[in-house]
Amino acid sequence: MTNFEFPKNFLWGTATAAHQVEGNNVNSDVWLIEHIPGTPYKEPSGDACDHYHRYRSDIALLAELGFNSYRFSIEWARIEPEEGEFSFAVLEHYRDMLRACHEHGLTPIVTFHHFTSPRWLMARGGWENADTPDRFARYCERATKHLGDLIGAACTINEANIAALIMRFGFMPPPEQLQQATWWLAASKAFGTAPEELSPFQYVVSPKAFETIMSAHRRAVEAIRGTGAKFPVGITLALQDIQPVVGGEAFAERMSKEINDVYLERLEGDDFVGVQSYSRARCDDRKFLPPDEGAERTQMGYEFYPEALEACIRHAIAVSGLPVYVTENGIGTADDTRRIEYIRRALNGVVNCLKNGLDIRGYTYWSAFDNFEWALGYRPTFGLIAVDRTTQQRTVKPSARYLGSIARANAIEQA
Ligand code: BGC
């Protein structure tokens, strides 16, 4: 056994997103969609983990476990509940969250947009409207002016490529079909927009959406820096380790370009890229393939394949030339021993990269808590900490102690 030491100042954390943990994010587009007739959501988010009220004890618990960082998102729908109306009280709430992080020695990594948007943005053309980048930048600027002195690092947008990815994997019908779904029609009516103009973040795949999202990112970086903020700023991407079977090389290359590279190539001037990886994606010459018969699957249905993280880090650095923060990596499983094994093998990949001199600044596990897994509701459990849905009681899992002790030592034992 040898001991591998991570670089000094390496950030060890866990991640959450406002909508998935705070509870009652009622002014967001997703909350409305959760409650629309025929909703694609298995259940509504409700109180979630009540993190909006319990953040102080939650943050204390993360620090006690050994982490030195916490990635969370601030909620645009709360901060700017109507266009141009900013809530001082909500900004103060997030300021207190940041303060709590510092009191406990956690470097806060703040995400400005993690899938949810204010309802009013949907009424104004959402993520396909050319004015959205400016609106997003205005919110980022306002929030940074209020919070910037306490932020450790910032991600503008979480998983800019999520919708492209979901559609390529066949989990979402093409736009023409989607726009005829009962829930889509009901949602457009409720938001006050035409069905063909409804553009929630997780559902937009057009070239216009790509341009809107990437220019929103660019404008946000400029706006954040324009406040004089000194912390590093980047975007996060759901990167895919695409592995072709024999004959699938050309398709794999095309998909990697569409899902990974068109985004990675647009990050010039950023301080880092946030790598998020969960599994690999295998393909033949035409399509993505399900896991082999007998392959171990996670609760999400995809393959247990922690080695994907190493491939994604290498690819992200090769294409973007930027330093990496691993902003998400994790597994939905009811068997915590498999979570420990997943983390062990994923970290092995991080160590391999560091040994090759690659610039990786931190590892963030998704997620701190079992939380609201979007359309799948509360069934998939990604957390290092379990949450009782009725009492909100937190229970630390062995995997939390495992990763927390690596974090505390800033080192890992290797066979
Ligand atoms: C997202 C999270 C999500 C996680 C697990 C990522 O795509 O950023 O919000 O819960 O994956 O599926």
Q: pLDDT value at position 414? A: 87
Report the separation in Å between the CA atom of 278 and the middle of ligand 1, taken as the mean of its atom positions: 9
Domain 2-408 class, CATH top level: alpha beta
Tell me if residue 159 is catalytic.
yes
Q: pLDDT value at position 2? A: 87
pLDDT at 58 over 90: yes
Report the separation in Å between the CA atom of 228 and the middle of ligand 1, taken as the mean of its atom positions: 31
Report the separation in Å between the CA atom of 291 and the middle of ligand 1, taken as the mean of its atom positions: 20
Helix (H, G, I), strand (E, B) or coil at 320: helix
Helix (H, G, I), strand (E, B) or coil at 165: helix
Distances (CA, A) of 34 to 53, 115, 188, 311, 388: 22, 14, 13, 35, 21
Q: Where does the pLDDT of residue 1 fall: very low under 50, low under 70, confident under 90, or very high at 90 and above?
A: confident
What are the structural domain ranges in the chain? Answer: 2-408
Q: Which ligand 1 atom sits closest to the C-alpha of 158?
A: 8
What are the strands, taking DSSP E only, across 188-343?
233-238, 241-244, 272-277, 280-283, 288-289, 324-329
Kindly report the number of other CB atoms within 10 A of residue 322's CB atom: 21
The arithmetic mean of pLDDT across residues 84-112, rounded, is 99
Q: What is the pTM of this model?
A: 0.98
pLDDT in tens, 178-213: 999 999 999 999 999 999 999 999 999 999 999 999
Type of residue found at 158? N
Q: pLDDT value at position 291? A: 97
Please pick, among 141, 159, 310, 341, the residue that the annotation labels catalytic.
159
Distance in angstroms (rounded) separating the CA atoms of residues 36 and 247: 44
Report the separation in Å between the CA atom of 246 and the middle of ligand 1, taken as the mean of its atom positions: 30
Task: Indicate the burial class of 347 (C-beta count within 10 angstroms; 0-12, 13-18, 19 or more).
Answer: buried
Pocket lining: 238 vs ligand 1, CB cutoff 6 Å:
yes
pLDDT at 274 over 90: yes
Helix (H, G, I), strand (E, B) or coil at 199: coil
Q: pLDDT value at position 394? A: 98
- Which residue puts its alpha carbon closest to atom 3 of ligand 1? 373
Residue from 21, 73, 328 whose mutation best tests the ligand 1 pocket (most atoms within 8 A of CB) = 328
Distance in angstroms (rounded) separating the CA atoms of residues 395 and 27: 30
pLDDT in tens, 206-253: 999 999 999 999 999 999 999 999 999 999 999 999 999 999 999 999
pLDDT in tens, 289-318: 999 999 999 999 999 999 999 999 999 999
pLDDT at 78 over 90: yes
pLDDT in tens, 16-38: 999 999 999 999 999 999 999 99
Distance in angstroms (rounded) separating the CA atoms of residues 325 and 86: 30
Distance in angstroms (rounded) separating the CA atoms of residues 366 and 63: 16
Kindly report the number of other CB atoms within 10 A of residue 44's CB atom: 16
Q: Where does the pLDDT of residue 262 fall: very low under 50, low under 70, confident under 90, or very high at 90 and above?
A: very high
Q: In this prediction, what percent of the chain has a pLDDT beyond 70?
A: 100
Distance in angstroms (rounded) separating the CA atoms of residues 240 and 296: 18
Q: What is the mean pLDDT of the chain?
A: 98
Sign of the CA dihedral with 222 first, then 93, 22, and 394 last: positive
* φ, ψ (nearest 5 deg) of residue 308: -60, -30
